[in-house]
Structure 1
Amino acid sequence: MNKKILITGSSGLIGSEVCKHFSALGWQIHGADNNQRAVFFGPQGDTRWNQARLQETIPSYTHHEVDIRDRENIIKLIAGIRPDAIVHTAAQPSHDRAAAIPFDDFDTNAVGTFNLLEATRRYSTAIPFVHLSTNKVYGDAPNEIKMVELDKRFDYDDDNYENGIAESFRIDQTKHSLFGSSKVSADISVQEYGRYFNMPTACLRGGCLTGPNHTGVELHGFLSYLIKCNLEEKEYTIFGYKGKQVRDNIHSYDVARFIEEFIAAPRVAEVYNIGGGKNNSCSILEAFDMISAISGKPMKYKYDETNRIGDHICYYSDLRKMKEHYPDWDITKSLQETVEEIYQSWVNRIK
């Protein structure tokens, strides 16, 4: 029989990419998603279209309408499926939304992850468990790095960070936002289940994970939402830092490829900073230039001097540990390619 994989948040950006990727590898796909993104962000966050796409295009796809906060059903789900690997991408993903719905945020990110870990342990301590964490576990500590202000971006002015932020960077004594706090709890729990029970677990601390199947909204999905605004000639709001704040962007395909590598050769309680790295980084102003060059439309925007709480001035991932542990993996999609794919996806969806 083909191997079985359970993917939570299967209708989201990374979840759907992992479904597609592992289906192509011959796995049976079990997706768990209850479209909670539409509850968090309203109709513009709805991911049912992605669920329908998976059901139409992946013959081996089985959908499970389940909430990861439902402990008893999660235990039954994993025991019933008996998966050979679990990829946990479901989350409440927004800084700003977390402050408005703190219980929902913590119950989803922290408690939901714990439910999955314990359900996995009861079923098997031998199967790989991959958790999509976030670079927000570092809080705003990266802002303490010495920086230089350039014409359209900030950048590190410290040779220790020439390659970006490594996994050894501290996660405490810093402001995280409530979202960052709930994700820290999940991150540490995934590591602890790995160390305490000798389970093969991984925390992937993502930068800006993006791609053509991203349903970007103002509160989450920077690059996708920015491109959508340009296409619809809608005003985009820059929050602080003169629009020079820098993010590294990684295509969802390259995330799925790394997950494939980890599941093939899993390690215990590992942490990886997964992002586009320095070469795939850009500021908001630089992203404006990129999409305007593609669409032929100038970017409409306004500026709010107040930066988001816990926001990074500059962040890009140091990918050296990932490449050392898994030398067959590397970034394959450039930032330019990624922007072009997202733009075309929005053109097709908005028609």
Structure 2
Amino acid sequence: MKLLVTGGAGFIGSAVVRLAVERGLDVVNLDALTYAACLDNVASVADRPEYAFEHADIRDRAAIDRVLETHRPDAIMHLAAESHVDRSIDGPGAFIETNVTGTYNMLEAARSYWTASGRPETFRFHHVSTDEVFGSLGPTGAFTEDTPYDPRSPYSASKAASDHLVRAWGETYGLPIVLSNCSNNYGPFHFPEKLIPVIILNALAGKPLPIYGDGSHVRDWLFVEDHADALLCVLERGRTGRSYNIGGENERSNLELVRTLCEILDAKRPRAEGSYADLITFVTDRPGHDARYAIDPSRIAGELGWRPSVTVEEGLERTVQWYLDNEDWWRALQGREGVGTRLGQAR
């Protein structure tokens, strides 16, 4: 199989690229190399004959057409997206342009390519999305594939719109599509503006560890390498037209999560005095902050036999160790626009 991955220099996309190449797939990585992308994420496979890179933007339809005609992929996994909620609050336009218009361009380019190729039944367009499209849960319950959409931020609204477009192209044009919605990812190569890398890197620098509100917001945490495995499973074995929720089955409040990270750092790189937990600082919550996300992964488990393999305790320890071992990687990214700055406070 030859697989085109959009956003393959990003956090989740690069995990898919690395795993797919290691499994012997031919992979074309299409990425615009915006602020959150880094080609170092795929350095381990960059010299492999199965790998090719295309510097292109999904907002540029002509560029997508050129890439499809050049490489003739058997499947497309569409991950390219603006994904940071705080940035979407400050600048929603980029999220509409990339997540909505960009997805439209990908769908139309894929439809044209698929039609010109004789509409092969084996072709797949796999759209990768988020559990944030479902809104906010109360203390109990979990999102299923049938949960009504209720996005609360410009980011989640743009991803909800893209999900709807993908389903419409499947129904109206017969494009062979599959969708997946995932819970919060974490792990190696996580761009240093998201919660877990912020906490690790601030702790190492002796800076305050910021937690929104009272830290009671709950997320289901999915190790990124588990997610990459699940995405390839959905791509290869998922039913056409079907959506699959992918979760880590690891719910933690933000405060619990940060305290666990502090305990790991205390053991691996102790402070001269006290615990890293002494640096925890509660900050003003962001607007429209969803209280809780949780995934019911019954469908992917029952239909495809997939379950996460990494517990949150194991995954966090591996993640902390990776950041300790890869200082050159994260230091090079800390000077990028917005990193280290509080975003998403607009009302």
Q: Which residue of 2 aligns with 1:14?
A: 12
Q: CA-to-partner distance for each residue in 1:5-34, whole Å, 9 max, x for gaps? A: 111111112111111111122111110112
Deviation at 1:337, TM superposition (A): 1.4
Select which of 280, 286, 300 maps to 1:301: 280
Q: How does 1:88-167 map to 2 (within 5 A)?
A: 88-124=78-114, 125=119, 126=121, 127-140=123-136, 142=137, 145=138, 147=139, 156=140, 161=141, 164-167=142-145
Q: Counterpart of 2:212 in structure 1: which amino acid?
A: F
1:55 lines up with 2:46 in the alignment: yes
The Cα shift of 1:288 comes to: 2.0
> Is residue 291 from structure 1 mapped to residue 242 from structure 2 by the alignment?
no
TM-score (norm 2): 0.85
> Aligned pairs, how many?
313
Letter in 2 for 1:14: I
Q: Which residue of 1 aligns with 2:64?
A: 74
Partner of 2:19, secondary structure, is helix
Q: Is the 8 A contact 1:128 1:266 kept in 2?
A: no
- Cα gap change, 1:225/1:200 in structure 2, threshold over 3 Å: closer, same or farther? farther
Tell me the distance in 2 between the aligned counterparts of 1:213 and 1:287: 19
Equivalent residue number for residue 256 of structure 1: 228
Secondary structure of residue in 2 paired with 1:203: strand
Matched residue SS, 2:276: coil
Q: Which amino acid aligns with 1:284?
A: N
TM-score, structure 1 as length reference = 0.84
Assess, with a 3 A threshold, how the Cα gap between structure 1 residues 269 and 311 changes in structure 2: closer, same or farther. farther
Letter in 2 for 1:231: L
User: Contact between 1:93 and 1:179, CA under 8 Å: does it hold in 2?
Assistant: yes
Q: Is contact 1:199–1:268 with CA below 8 Å preserved after alignment?
A: no
Q: What are the within-5 Å matches in structure 2 for residues 1-351 of structure 1?
A: 3-36=1-34, 38=35, 45=36, 47-56=38-47, 58-124=48-114, 125=119, 126=121, 127-140=123-136, 142=137, 145=138, 147=139, 156=140, 161=141, 164-172=142-150, 176-217=152-193, 221-240=194-213, 242-277=214-249, 280-296=250-266, 297-299=275-277, 300-305=279-284, 307-327=285-305, 329-350=306-327
2: CA distance between counterparts of 1:222 and 1:132?
Answer: 21
- Deviation per residue, 1:72-103 (Å, 9 max, x gap): 11122112211011111111001221232222
Following superposition, the deviation at residue 254 of structure 1 comes to 1.5
Give secondary structure in 1 for the equivalent of 2:83: coil
What one-letter code is carried by the residue in structure 2 that aligns with 1:198? G
Instruction: Say whether the 8 Å CA contact 1:134–1:183 is kept in structure 2.
Output: yes
The C-alpha deviation readout for 1:255-305, integer Å capped at 9, x for no partner, is 12222222222322222222212xx11111111221122111423232124
One-letter code of the match for 2:81? A
Amino acid at match of 1:294: I
3-state SS of 2:46 partner: helix
- The structure-2 alpha-carbon separation of the partners of 1:46 and 1:8, relative to structure 1 and needing over 3 Å to count, comes to closer
Structure 1 segments unaligned to the other structure (5+ residues) = 39-44, 148-155
Q: Residue type of the partner of 1:107?
A: E
Partner SS state of residue 145, structure 2:
coil
Identity among equivalent pairs (%): 29
**Alpha-carbon offset, residue 61 of structure 1:** 1.3
- CA contact under 8 A between 1:207 and 1:248: conserved in structure 2? yes
Cα shift at 1:59:
3.7
**SS of equivalent residue, structure 1 residue 22:** helix
Q: Which runs of 5+ in 2 are unaligned?
A: 267-274, 329-347
Distance in 1 separating the partners of 2:61 and 2:93: 16
Structure 1 residues 326, 311: closer, same or farther in 2, change over 3 A?
Answer: same
Task: Check conservation: 1:23, 1:29, Cα contact below 8 A.
Answer: yes
Q: Do the aligned residues in 2 keep the contact of 1:276 with 1:316 (CA within 8 Å)?
A: no
